[in-house]
Amino acid sequence: MSDENITAENILKDRPRMMSGDQFTFRCGHDLDCFTSCCCDVSIALTPYDVLRLKKAMRLESTEFLEKYTIPLLSSQQKFPVVILRMDSETKKCPFLSESGCGVYPDRPWACRMYPLGVAAPKKPTPADQPFHFVLRESLCHGHGLGPAHSVREWLTGQGVEEYEMMSAPFQELTLHDFWDRETALTPQQVAMFYMACYDLDRFRRFVFESRFLELFDVDEARVVALRSDDEELLEFALQWLRFSLFGEKTMKIRREIVEAKRQAEAQAGAMVAKEI
């Protein structure tokens, strides 16, 4: 059976669950008649770390990268904005596809590294319901059944997936937070905050350094220095700020003088009300 119309329900119900030692037989290469057909007319959602790697590979600022190569999506079924790779409007090819294959191969997105493996992860894993991998079998891909055999673990290691999963873990935790079960929809301002912090990192950097941000938040001096040039550090910081702003978690520290000024203002307001009574 081909997987063109596969649904999450089918995967959870019918799909053989592969663990890290389980094997599958697959080969990909220039010599196959399907070479690069998986890079056309495909919907690839980018993680914040994918965007970070790709914008660096293209030597672009995040805003320009996002405008040129992605489409932002926020439908009524989604709780937060996502970005997908923008296929060429005429040829339907991935913008990074060249004659010889992927033009951003060392920095290709997580989804491209995984293919033809997929992963299904229950929101709250139990001993009986653990995350698992499965093989996607699409008719366009002719590499199935051609040797050699790979274990899931070997495939993930060979494709550099582990680094991407490690760097994406804080984002994944953010997207699995209980907050999304409670809230119906983000406000337009929250959507803009989410988009900037997760995807438009260079704009978030300007927000940190060119607004009153560092007057409000107490950020360790060494971290402030790192945030100026280290994108990975900046992404981690941006996600902490989102958790503070959206979930109300204590992931950021407000400066003592700001807290004290607020406390005094509230005390003064309370005193005025008491006088009038």
Q: Which is closer to ligand SF4, CB of 37 or CB of 151?
A: 37
Q: Which is closer to ligand SF4, CB of 141 or CB of 196?
A: 141
> Does 38 sit near ligand SF4 (CB under 6 A)?
yes
Distance of CA 65 to the CA centre of its chain: 15
> Does 160 sit near ligand SF4 (CB under 6 A)?
no
Alpha-carbon torsion angle 54, 62, 227, 233, nearest 10: -40
> Does 39 sit near ligand SF4 (CB under 6 A)?
yes
Please name the residues in contact with 170: beta carbons below 8 A apart, sequence gap of 6 or more: 235, 236, 239
x-or-dash pattern for ligand SF4, window 97-136, by CB under 6 A?
Answer: x----x-x---xx--x--x---------------------
**179 — alpha (psi -120 to 50), left (phi > 0) or beta?**
alpha
Please list, residue by residue across 239-266, b when 16 or more beta carbons sit within 10 angstroms of its beta carbon and e when fewer do.
bbbbbbbbeeeeebeeeeeeeeeeeeee
Site for ligand SF4 in 42-81 (CB under 6 A): 44
> Does 140 sit near ligand SF4 (CB under 6 A)?
yes
The residue from 81, 118, 143, 160 that contacts ligand SF4 (CB under 6 A) is: 143
> Does 226 sit near ligand SF4 (CB under 6 A)?
no
Residues in contact with ligand SF4 by CB under 6 A are 28, 32, 34-39, 44, 94, 96-97, 102, 104, 108-109, 112, 115, 140-143
